[in-house]
Structures are given as structure tokens and as C-alpha cells.
Amino acid sequence: MDWVVRPRKLSFAGRASLQELRLVCEADERHTEIISVGRPAQVLLHPDTGMTAAEGLRFNAPAFRQVCQVVGGNLNGVLAGIWSESKSPDALKRDTLLRVFNNILKLRFESLLKYQLVVDQAAGEIVGLVSRKYQRVPNVELLSEVVAAASGTYQVVQARVDNRDMFVLFSRSGSAVAAADGTWSQGLAVYNSETSKRAVHLPLAVFDSVTKSYCLEAETKSNRLIHRKSKGFHQTLDAVVQTAVRRDGVVGPLVSASSVGWRSGSVIHGVTKLQALQKIKRGLVSKGFSATVIERVAHLLGSADIPSITRRSLYISLLTVADESVSSSRLLRVFASTLLSKGP
């Protein structure tokens, strides 16, 4: 669908990454406008230009999907499927599909009245659609708050901005702990979205010297905050940030001497390596991982020269695939974290 703009994807690494990310987020904030949907011309698209009738704006792909979801469920998937499969000239497909989109939008326009457009005026793009109850947290504000609270204790390892979804990974100085299965250290991840339902999330990150990668703790009431307008929202957000940044000495208990033996033991007792592999695959299916991800994890475990699959070997495989798979990275890292310690 050539009227839809690809979303921006930026990655940063190294010492300059924080400053580079900050500059991007500052520019985004200067150019962002939140516009309540009140009339069809704000979202109807001209069949020739693919731009909105009112302001001449383009939708980027995530925002177009969001609008389609509200007015027609899987409408985006239907349109995209026809566009890719039809052998008709692009001009004819564009005219026909945009008329279909506009007609459905007219019939279902009232469903959009409780939403707002997130517009990047500098790019001339609609980059998101959010509810009027959505509490926007600008990336630049969250970044500044985390950096100020960290007060030199954390250093940025990497960062990225996909459309308006921000991810920043920090490492904590002086947190390294040596164990029999590697050296482990503490970190912090920061997730935020200015244009989607994903919550503000500041999970603990744990690095290790074997994988040279990291796992993440799951979302909890203390490390996440849903973007919903509420009394005391900003005070709660500040509490989440302060709690995340001030956590210290977390890695030691996770990788204690008593848990090293647990991690080096078989992940599934009393079965062959092949049987364990099949059970692991079924477990990954139940957690919603794609067939491609599951087969890659299985391949790594199956080809490893080990007599049985241990929690540590499964941990290594999960993080190896997490480094390769952008779409499943976060879920794989969270699942890997469950293999670190026996818990209380």
C-alpha cells in the first residue's frame, strides 16, 4: 500500500547514544501535535494522493493500522492482502482500496470520535491514534527523569526509537557479581510509547559474561504504569522511576551459589534430551512464540554438545535468539529471566 509511510526506526549505541537519543526526542516533542478527531476530513484519504482531505497529512503504517482496527477490525490486513495479491495496476488498486477505506470510515466514523491523532508536523505524518483517556508521556520527559534519578550510577548501553516507541538499556556501575556460571551484573531497561497502549515499563535487566546479553524481569505493579489519565498519575510515574533506579544489590541473590546448581541441572528431569526438547517446544508454543523462533531455539539446543538440556543452556539459547529476533526479543528475555533463580 504505497500511500502508507514506513515508520521511522533509529538505533543508537556507545557513549554518544544518550545525547543522540535526547536530540531526537527533543525534536519530536517540538513537532508533535495532538488533534482530537472531530470530522471525517481529518482521516478520509484522497484516492490520488493518499493524503488526508483536511490537512494533507500522510498516515504512517502503525497509525493506519490503528485507525483500521477501530473502524474495521482486520481492515488493514484485508487491504494489504488485496494490494499485494492483485495484479491490477497500482493506480487502479490505490483508487479502489482507498475508496473502500473511505466508505467504511464514513459508516463507522462515530467510533473515532473518542480518539486523538498524534501528528508529527515536521514530517507531515500522522504517527499514532490514541484514546482521549490516554495519558501521554513524552519520551524526552521520561528520559530526562530517569537520567536525573540515576545520577551517574547508570550508563546507557543502547537505545532505539521505533516510530514513537522508545527503548533504552542501562548498565549499573559496580554491580558485577562472580558466580560459577559467569559474571553477572545489573541493568535497567526503559520502555515507553507515545502512540500505543504499551505501558511505561522499567524492568530490571541482568547481564552475564557468557551470553554477553541480558534478560528482563516481567511487568509487575511496581515497575509499570498504564497510559491512562488518572489522579496522581505523574506522582505514581515518579515513584515507578525512583523505585527502578534505586534498586541495588539485586543480582547477588539471583545468582547466588545455591542457585548455580539449580541452573546447571536438567530443565526437565527423568526424560531424554529429545523428549525434553519436545516439551520445551510445546511450552514455547503455549507462550505464543512463533514457529520460526521455536525452531531456532530448538536447533540451538539440539545441536549443542550437551548430554541434557539444563536451565543454563536453555537460558543461553533464548538470549541468542532474542539478539537475533527483534519482534520476539522482549518476550524471550522475560521468559529467560525465569530460569535464573529458584526464587524465595
**Burial class, 73, CB count within 10 angstroms (exposed 0-12 / middle 13-18 / buried 19+):** exposed
pLDDT, residue 290, reads 93
Domain extents for the chain?
Answer: 31-131, 133-255, 256-344
| Element holding 80 (H helix, E strand) | helix 75-85
Q: Strand pairing of 58-59 and 125-131?
A: parallel
Q: Residues 211-255: pLDDT tens digits?
A: 999 999 999 989 999 999 999 999 999 999 999 999 988 998 888
Rounded CA gap, 84 and 293, in Å? 25
Q: What is the pTM of this model?
A: 0.90
Phi, psi values for residue 295, rounded to 5°? -65, -35
CA dihedral 25, 27, 31, 32 (to 10 degrees): 10
Rounded CA gap, 92 and 13, in Å? 44
- Those residues with Cβ within 8 angstroms of residue 201's Cβ, 6 or more apart along the chain or in another chain: 189, 190, 191, 192, 219, 223, 224
Rounded CA gap, 119 and 308, in Å? 53
Q: Which amino acid is at 104?
A: I
Residue showing cell 545489573? 186
CA angle 15, 17, 20 (to 5 degrees): 130
Contact between residue 178 and residue 200 where contact means Cβ atoms under 8 Å apart: no
Rounded CA gap, 321 and 216, in Å? 14
Nearest to 172 by CA among 153, 146, 190: 153
**3-class SS of residue 197:** coil
Contact between residue 83 and residue 8 where contact means Cβ atoms under 8 Å apart: no
Q: Which amino acid is at 259?
A: S
- Pull the grid cell for residue 75: 481492515
**pLDDT less than 70: residues of the chain:** 342-344
**3-class SS of residue 40:** helix
Rounded CA gap, 332 and 320, in Å? 10
pLDDT, residue 306, reads 81
- Pull the grid cell for residue 204: 530490571
- Pull the grid cell for residue 159: 537505545
Phi, psi values for residue 171, rounded to 5°? -115, 150
Q: Residues 282-309: pLDDT tens digits?
A: 999 999 999 999 999 999 998 878 888 9
| Distance separating the N- and C-terminal Cα atoms of the chain | 52
Residue showing cell 546507557? 156
pLDDT, residue 51, reads 95
- Pull the grid cell for residue 202: 522499567
